[in-house]
Amino acid sequence: MARGVARVGTDDLTVAARAVAGYGPTVVVKDGGRGALAVYRGEVFHEPGMPLDPVDTTGAGDTLDAGFIAALLAVLTTPAASPATPTAPGSPS
DSSP state of 36: E
Inside any domain, residue 72: yes
pLDDT at 1 over 60: no
Q: What is the pLDDT of residues 22-58, one digit of tens each?
A: 888 889 988 888 899 999 888 999 999 889 898 998 9
Inside any domain, residue 90: no
Q: Using CA atoms, how far apart are residues 68 and 65, in angstroms rounded to an integer?
A: 5
pLDDT of res. 36? 92
For residue 72, what are the domain limits?
2-50+57-81
Number of domains in the chain: 1
- Measured on CA atoms in the order 8, 12, 65, 83, is the torsion positive or negative? negative
Q: What pTM was estimated for this model as a whole?
A: 0.66
Inside any domain, residue 19: yes
